[in-house]
Amino acid sequence: MALNRRIITVARGILCLACVAVIAFPVIWMIRCSLIPTVEVYKMPPALLVKPTLNSYVNVFTRQNFLLRFANSAFVSVASAGIALVAGSMAAYGISRFKFPLKDQLPLGFLFLRMLPGMSTLVPVFLMFTKLRLIDTYPGIILLYAAGAIPMIVWMMWGFYQDLPTEVEEAAYVDGCGPLPAFFLVVMPMTTPALAALGILAFTGAWNEFMMATILTRRTVMTLPPGIRFLMSQADLSWDLISAGGTLVSLPIFLACLFAQRYFIDGLALGAVKG
């Protein structure tokens, strides 16, 4: 019996490691291709030990504008996540605390909006952006991403506020605090863990977004995902540069998987991560 249990534990360990290997392999291979000289990428069979070089990274940063793309991605993702957090949690709070017409239908409405695929709105958004001269501008893409993240935040925070006791806010009201200061100074600080989790999810969504960005951004505001696509469309296709781009866009996600695992797993169950 004890021996049997040992065998099961060992078998389970081997299965675990095999899964890790299969999951990690394509990503590790891409990182490898970004760290070796160009000629080595095209070698068949590939050499297992190659002297690493940062050439491809130097190249994408100096010749392919990736410094700007990286900064754009970071700025657009942080700004849109921040706006969505403030606007979304305010609305969620309003729905859970105030009485007004149609308030009971609103959460479900937001949930439906969250499910809406990008293609449902991309054509008119493109026409609107063209008319309003928002193509390739920061406000355009930032507000669009914020609007995309708001439904998820409203939906999640609404559930959260309903379970939050009202005593503290009521005490603030008694002290003469208005609803807006009470919300920002008293309620929001109490919900920082939930806001952090949703902020990370909103950031990830904007950071990874490709379909809208490829249509609505050009030279100035272009983020990393369409930047990588742009590398691939060039005549002298060079896979070491493309791999470097792919690795760069993955870096924050690797960090998030290591340090913010729990948030993602909670979010997954609620369908908060878009595929």
Partner 1 sequence: MRIRFRHVLAFMLPAIAAVAFFAIYPLAYTGALSLQKFNLTSGAPAKFIGLGNYVRLFSDSQFMNSLKVTAIYTIWGVLATMVLGVLLALLLNSKGKLVGFLRAVSLVPMLICSMALSVAWALVYNTNFGALNAILQALGLPTQNFLGTVKTALPSLIAIDVWQFTPYVMILTLAGLKGISPELYEAARIDGANQMQCFWKITIPSLRGVLVTTLVMRVIDTFKTFEKPLVLTNGGPAMSTDTINLHVFNTAFSSWDMGYGSAGSIVITLIIALFSAAFIRLSRKAEN
122 forms part of the interface with partner 1 (CB under 8 A): yes
107-143 CB burial, b ≥16 within 10 A, e <16? beebeebbeeeeeeeeeebeeebeeeebbebbebbbb
127 forms part of the interface with partner 1 (CB under 8 A): yes
* Residue 159: exposure state from Cβ atoms within 10 A (0-12, 13-18, ≥19): middle
CB of 160 to partner 1, least distance (A): 15
Residue from 1, 2, 49, 269 touching partner 1 (CB under 8 A): that is 269
Residue in 160, 164, 134 with CA at minimum distance from that of residue 147: 134
138 forms part of the interface with partner 1 (CB under 8 A): no
Closer to partner 1 at the Cβ: 88 or 199? 88
Residue from 87, 135, 186, 188 touching partner 1 (CB under 8 A): that is 87
Phi-psi region of 47 (alpha: psi -120 to 50; beta: other; left: phi over 0): beta
190 forms part of the interface with partner 1 (CB under 8 A): no
Cis peptide preceding 225, ω within 30 of 0: no
* Interface with partner 1 in residues 142-161 (CB under 8 A): 143-144, 146-148, 150-151, 154
The 198-237 site mask, x for binding partner 1 (CB under 8 A), equals ------x--xx-xx---x--------xx--xx--x-----
Helices (H) and strands (E) in the chain, counts: 15, 0
41 forms part of the interface with partner 1 (CB under 8 A): yes
- Rounded-to-integer distance, Cα 172 and Cα 159, Å: 22
Residue from 133, 165, 189, 275 touching partner 1 (CB under 8 A): that is 275
* Interface with partner 1 in residues 58-77 (CB under 8 A): none
Cβ proximity of 240 and 43 under 8 Å? no
184 forms part of the interface with partner 1 (CB under 8 A): no
CB of 226 to partner 1, least distance (A): 8
Residue from 79, 183, 199, 202 touching partner 1 (CB under 8 A): that is 183
194 forms part of the interface with partner 1 (CB under 8 A): no
Residues in contact with 187: Cβ distance below 8 Å, sequence separation at least 6, in sequence order: 93, 161, 164, 168, 169
22 forms part of the interface with partner 1 (CB under 8 A): yes
Cβ proximity of 212 and 118 under 8 Å? yes
Residue from 88, 194, 198, 202 touching partner 1 (CB under 8 A): that is 88
CB of 111 to partner 1, least distance (A): 6
Closer to partner 1 at the Cβ: 53 or 266? 266
Cβ proximity of 97 and 183 under 8 Å? no
Residues in contact with 7: Cβ distance below 8 Å, sequence separation at least 6, in sequence order: none
CB of 23 to partner 1, least distance (A): 5
85-100 CB burial, b ≥16 within 10 A, e <16? bbbbbbbbbbbbbeee
Residue from 65, 126, 135, 191 touching partner 1 (CB under 8 A): that is 126
261 forms part of the interface with partner 1 (CB under 8 A): yes
